[in-house]
């Protein structure tokens, strides 16, 4: 009988304490009684451990000085056609290119995989951080959220033995907050602001480019190359998709044919322009 009373008291206390605990937790959530403030933590979408990732650095050959300008071939977004279509042509003309990678897209449909990126890097290409998820509203983010995204993207690249020294903003967005965070973590920043870069006066956090779209003419590209050659400028040519014509004007805006791309490479070769990686010219 005593044992039964003891069990009854224990059961009563148990059911009394549980509701009190639930009430306390609810109050913490609703009115913020907990003293601990929420903190940004590294995102892990596939269970990867990003906390123990070591930096991965890549060294690039120095390029000789020139008075005839430089050209950089820069591919954005890591589309699969960049590996399947553009890379063989770039290799054919004995050039190297830079590729801006949003890690969240890697391994997904129509994008490259990690092994393909490592192959490109082993072929002498430069890999760049293009934010984690390629969010085109990044310019509106807080400093904490921006910092987290940059760090997560970099660590995914490092984890897969890829470099990540330069940041390329998604959709070319820019803000004071973004620039401030980028300057803390990267050697350079590139958006899609049109223009050329003066070799003797390069601002690494304001790199200018010429965007190649479906409406860009070959004459325009030749004019840019001629100007870089004549005025000793650094010309950055930005590409996206190759041979991915869908019939939709909006979807095909950043798509060009492999024939048009090869014509540009051929013109560069005939001109004997020095095609360099961004990190190479930034180290001059």
Asked if the model's pLDDT at residue 72 lies above 70, the reply is yes
Domain membership flag for residue 62:
no
Domain membership flag for residue 60:
no
Task: Please give the tally of structural domains in the chain.
Answer: 2
Domain membership flag for residue 61:
no
More confident residue, 204 or 37: 204
| pLDDT confidence of residue 255 | 96
Q: Are residues 10 and 138 in the same domain?
A: no
Residue 20: pLDDT band (50, 70, 90) is: low
Residue 51: pLDDT band (50, 70, 90) is: confident
Residue 85: pLDDT band (50, 70, 90) is: very high
| pLDDT confidence of residue 16 | 54
Tokens of 269: 């070769």
Asked if the model's pLDDT at residue 41 lies above 80, the reply is no
Angle formed by the axes of helices 258-271 and 218-231, nearest 10°? 20
Mean pLDDT across 41-54:
62
| pLDDT confidence of residue 48 | 63
Asked if the model's pLDDT at residue 250 lies above 80, the reply is no
Domain membership flag for residue 178:
yes
Largest CA distance in the chain: 104
Mean pLDDT across 72-77:
99
Question: Could you tell me whether strands 233-239 and 207-211 are parallel, antiparallel, or unpaired per DSSP bridges?
Answer: parallel
pTM of the model as a whole: 0.82
More confident residue, 204 or 34: 204
Domain membership flag for residue 52:
no
Mean pLDDT across 196-205:
97
Q: Are residues 20 and 148 in the same domain?
A: no
Asked if the model's pLDDT at residue 192 lies above 60, the reply is yes
In this predicted structure, which of 60-69, 166-175, 234-243 has the lowest mean pLDDT? 60-69
Domain CATH number, residue 116: 3.20.20.370
241: domain range? 70-282
Residue 247: pLDDT band (50, 70, 90) is: confident
Domain membership flag for residue 46:
no
Say how far apart CA 114 and CA 161 lie, in whole Å.
9
Asked if the model's pLDDT at residue 131 lies above 60, the reply is yes
Q: Which residues contact 268 (CB under 8 A, 6 or more apart)?
A: 71, 93, 95, 225, 275
Say how far apart CA 21 and CA 250 lie, in whole Å.
55
Residue 105: pLDDT band (50, 70, 90) is: very high
Radius of gyration (C-alpha) of the chain in whole angstroms: 26
| pLDDT confidence of residue 42 | 40
Q: Are residues 23 and 74 in the same domain?
A: no
In this predicted structure, which of 154-163, 190-199, 245-254, 262-271 has the lowest mean pLDDT? 245-254
Q: Are residues 134 and 192 in the same domain?
A: yes
Q: Are residues 20 and 117 in the same domain?
A: no
What percentage of residues in the chain have a pLDDT greater than 70?
A: 83
| pLDDT confidence of residue 35 | 36
Half-sphere exposure of residue 191: CA atoms within 13 angstroms, side-chain side: 16
Domain membership flag for residue 58:
no
| pLDDT confidence of residue 19 | 55
40, 48, 41, 58: which is closest to 103 by C-alpha?
Answer: 48
């Amino acid at each position: 009988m005593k044992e039964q009373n003891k069990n009854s008291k224990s059961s009563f206390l148990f059911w009394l304490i549980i509701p009190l605990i639930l009430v306390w937790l609810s109050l913490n959530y609703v009115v913020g009684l907990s003293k601990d403030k929420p903190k940004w933590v590294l995102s892990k979408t596939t269970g990867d451990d990003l906390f123990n990732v070591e930096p991965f650095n890549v060294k690039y050959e120095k390029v000789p000085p020139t008075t005839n300008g430089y050209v950089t071939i820069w591919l954005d977004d890591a589309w699969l056609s960049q590996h399947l279509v553009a890379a063989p042509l770039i290799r054919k003309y004995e050039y190297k290119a830079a590729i801006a990678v949003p890690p969240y897209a890697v391994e997904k449909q129509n994008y490259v995989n990690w092994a393909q990126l490592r192959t490109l890097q082993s072929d002498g290409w430069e890999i760049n951080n293009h934010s984690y998820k390629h969010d085109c509203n990044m310019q509106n983010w807080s400093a904490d959220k921006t910092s987290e995204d940059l760090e997560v993207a970099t660590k995914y690249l490092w984890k897969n033995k890829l470099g990540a020294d330069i940041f390329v903003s998604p959709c070319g967005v820019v803000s004071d907050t973004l620039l401030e965070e980028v300057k803390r973590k990267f050697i350079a920043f590139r958006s899609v602001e049109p223009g050329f870069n003066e070799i003797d006066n390069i601002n690494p956090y304001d790199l200018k480019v010429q965007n190649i779209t479906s409406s860009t003419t070959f004459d325009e590209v030749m004019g840019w190359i001629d100007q870089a050659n004549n005025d000793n400028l650094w010309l950055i040519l930005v590409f996206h998709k190759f041979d991915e014509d869908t019939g939709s004007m909006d979807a095909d805006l950043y798509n060009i044919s492999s024939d048009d791309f090869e014509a540009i490479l051929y013109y560069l070769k005939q001109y004997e322009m020095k095609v360099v990686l961004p990190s190479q010219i930034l180290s001059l």
